[in-house]
Chain A
Amino acid sequence: MVKLRILADDEEGTLQRAIFEFSKRNIPIEGLFYRRGTSGITMQFSLNREEDAQKVLRNLSKIYGVRNAEIVLVKEGEIFGESIL
């Protein structure tokens, strides 16, 4: 499983726009975490294939308000680098 993490300004529609970047390329999303915080929003997509993540990465980073989009290593039981256990 490959994880893609996106940090963005808190603009309405950024989540929907990010999801469209996957659906328009027929890339299935296996999991999604979303968090709204004081400094913006964080999204973490789980995908099956690394090439899909690479394909969509540049497009995600071009969405207005996105500060960073990257493929991340996530340990089991963690979301956004924090333990959920």
Chain B
Amino acid sequence: MNVIKGAKILLESLYERGLDTVFGIPGGANLAIYDELFSSNFLNILARQEASAVHMADGYARVARKPAVCLVTSGPGATNMVTGMATAYVDSSPVIGITGQVSTRAMGRDSFQESDAFDLMIPVTKFNFKVKSPEEIPITVDKAYKVSMTGRFGPVSIDVPADVAMKDATSRVSGKIPELLYETNFEALSQALHALNSSQRPVILVGGGAKWDDCGADIMKFAEKMGSPVITTVMGKGAVPEDHPLSMGTTGMFGRWSTQQLMNETDLVIALGTRFSDRTTSKTSDFLPSAKVIHVDIDGREIGKNVDGVIGLTGSCIEIVSLLNSHIQDYAGKRIQWTVRAASMKSFCKCDINYGDQPLKPQKLIYEMSRLLPDDVILTADVGQHQMFAAHYFETRGRRNFITSGGLGTMGFGLPAAIGAKIAAPDRKVVSLVGDGGFQMTFSEFSTAVENNVPVFIIVMNNGSLGMVRQFQKQFYNHHIFSTDYEKGPNFAKFAEAMGGNGVVVEKASEVADAIKAGLKSDVPFVADVRVDVMEDCLPMIPAGAGRSSVVFGKCKWGNISNGEIANFGR
């Protein structure tokens, strides 16, 4: 038996499972692992803060559809990691987080940089492990990989005390890749088929689960056969091409009002990989007033969790969509009236956002991004107004991917996730749309991008404010704008140059297109600091917890037409 150090066993165990990229930061308790990393085949990315390292691993995992590794030290390294792991957990991303820990003899003594990483990670991971000897490491990595990739993906963490990493062991790395099993339950299949065949006005609602399965083409075939419009949640955006005639765009709190109209009228929703979050349903008693629901999810716990009385099918979206598709009749020609009505609503919803106004409107920026970004772009969106403007207006056509922190809503996610995504897909353009608030939370990672020659393009929708919070203060707190506007905002283009990248400031509508073209051409990380109108709110919006009737339309033209006119759409 070879004598191998625990740290080496750990890295070999990970590498044997096809994991070859590590995002992290070294520190006292994980130095033995970093020492082995030095002579390994791993690509090592040195992040500037641990939460960002996890976001990078998360962005990588969402593009590569396999786990990415994040390696941090004990104490503050582990506590900083929590936000990243929580983000990955809520969005079902398979990150494997490894925390160094103080040595076993120092544990429990409030030692320097000691934190109880094991217990800290429990609520934000699918499962987590603590290794007590180097011999346990291969089986622990096996388990971690299996848990993260089985059924609904999710993050897993392993706590590795320093002495365990340094100790020699005689264990050999297991070469066995665990079998990937997931729960299936098709007991309600005949009930589901009956509902599909008897529906007059079906709608397909696509969530983030469908993206992990990469089954957009199958969903659109199903939609065509069903004669059914397709709506996405924010997390599902990018799963299906939005230039398809049946594709209606994004729904939810800031979604297209046409999708709300259709959800109000449908008699059957086929929900694929969505947990019906409050951002999708708003007030649940107002949601889907006259529809049955077929709920397809890989996680049986989600069936019936937020919406009662559903017909539940548990399994992967790709498998179940294919199963349903092979069992239903072809309704394409029989639901013409419904599809024509959906098309006319979609058409009404297409407003002209090619604004030439000064100050520059956020919608104009999204318009130009939608027009100019390549059809295989990966767009990571941070969290805030810009995210909802993008969810609403940006068209994900072709192979465009849309990655965002839709569940936890973690500001600062956008840039590091873009770095991870670019490393996973070096041949594709990766653009990160961020607000000036979120960008400042993790913009030190711009330096990481420069250092590692990762040419991401960051578009800062800069309104000098925490825009979404400001919008809430304006709409729901009597215009008490407090602690949301920045009195002194940085020049992000100069910041980019100072860090070794390039940048440009955009202040006029006429400058937007050239800035986007420059960013796409740049072979170094690039920032377009786009100064937009702080007064422009992201509307329409259904206030949190409220029903459809409380919608704030603003200048959305749906607010100006009568129910009678809406009733005649497509008729």
* A and B physically associate: yes
Report A's interface with B, CB cutoff 8 A.
11-13, 16-17, 20, 24, 58-59, 62-65
| B123 in contact (CB, < 8 A) | yes
**Do B301 and A59 touch across chains, with their CB atoms under 8 A apart?**
yes
**Do B127 and A64 touch across chains, with their CB atoms under 8 A apart?**
yes
- Could you tell me the distance between the alpha carbons of A58 and B129 in the complex, rounded to whole angstroms? 22
B444 CB, min distance to chain A CBs, angstroms? 32
**Do A12 and B126 touch across chains, with their CB atoms under 8 A apart?**
no
**Do B147 and A16 touch across chains, with their CB atoms under 8 A apart?**
no
Report B's interface with A, CB cutoff 8 A.
118-119, 122-123, 126-130, 143, 147, 299-301
The residues of A that contact B147 with a CB separation of less than 8 Å are 64
The residues of B that contact A65 with a CB separation of less than 8 Å are 127
Given contacts A58-B300, A59-B301, A64-B147, contact A16 B119 (CB under 8 A): yes
The residues of B that contact A64 with a CB separation of less than 8 Å are 126-127, 143, 147
Contact of B130 among A12, A20, A24, A58 (CB under 8 A): A12
6 A-B pairs in the complex with CB atoms less than 8 angstroms apart: A13-B129, A16-B122, A58-B300, A62-B299, A64-B147, A65-B127
**Do A20 and B122 touch across chains, with their CB atoms under 8 A apart?**
yes
- Could you tell me the distance between the alpha carbons of A24 and B86 in the complex, rounded to whole angstroms? 14
Identify the interface centre among A20, A58, A59: most chain B CB within 10 Å of its CB. A58
A20 CB, min distance to chain B CBs, angstroms? 5
Contact of B127 among A17, A24, A58, A59 (CB under 8 A): A17
B78 CB, min distance to chain A CBs, angstroms? 15
Given contacts A58-B301, A59-B301, A64-B147, contact A20 B123 (CB under 8 A): yes
Summarize B's interface: helix, strand, loop or mixed.
Answer: helix
**Do B301 and A13 touch across chains, with their CB atoms under 8 A apart?**
no
- Could you tell me the distance between the alpha carbons of A63 and B147 in the complex, rounded to whole angstroms? 10
Summarize A's interface: helix, strand, loop or mixed.
Answer: loop
Given contacts A62-B301, A64-B147, contact A13 B123 (CB under 8 A): no
- Could you tell me the distance between the alpha carbons of A59 and B126 in the complex, rounded to whole angstroms? 11
**Do A17 and B301 touch across chains, with their CB atoms under 8 A apart?**
no
A15 CB, min distance to chain B CBs, angstroms? 10
A21 CB, min distance to chain B CBs, angstroms? 10
The residues of A that contact B299 with a CB separation of less than 8 Å are 62
The residues of B that contact A58 with a CB separation of less than 8 Å are 300-301
Cβ-closest chain A residue relative to B128? A13
Identify 18 new A-B residue pairs, CB closer than 8 A, beyond the known A58-B301, A64-B127: A12-B118, A13-B119, A13-B122, A13-B127, A13-B128, A17-B122, A17-B127, A20-B122, A24-B123, A58-B300, A62-B299, A62-B300, A62-B301, A63-B127, A64-B126, A64-B143, A64-B147, A65-B127
A64 CB, min distance to chain B CBs, angstroms? 4
- Could you tell me the distance between the alpha carbons of A16 and B300 in the complex, rounded to whole angstroms? 22
The residues of A that contact B126 with a CB separation of less than 8 Å are 64
- Could you tell me the distance between the alpha carbons of A6 and B170 in the complex, rounded to whole angstroms? 36
- Could you tell me the distance between the alpha carbons of A74 and B196 in the complex, rounded to whole angstroms? 44
- Could you tell me the distance between the alpha carbons of A58 and B128 in the complex, rounded to whole angstroms? 20
A66 CB, min distance to chain B CBs, angstroms? 11
Cβ-closest chain A residue relative to B130? A12
Identify the interface centre among B118, B122, B143: most chain A CB within 10 Å of its CB. B122
B292 CB, min distance to chain A CBs, angstroms? 22
- Could you tell me the distance between the alpha carbons of A24 and B118 in the complex, rounded to whole angstroms? 18
Cβ-closest chain A residue relative to B146? A64
The residues of A that contact B143 with a CB separation of less than 8 Å are 64
Identify the interface centre among B128, B130, B143, B300: most chain A CB within 10 Å of its CB. B128
- Could you tell me the distance between the alpha carbons of A11 and B156 in the complex, rounded to whole angstroms? 14
- Could you tell me the distance between the alpha carbons of A13 and B128 in the complex, rounded to whole angstroms? 8
- Could you tell me the distance between the alpha carbons of A62 and B128 in the complex, rounded to whole angstroms? 14
The residues of B that contact A63 with a CB separation of less than 8 Å are 127
* Top-6 shortest CB links A-B: A64-B127, A58-B301, A64-B147, A20-B123, A16-B122, A17-B122
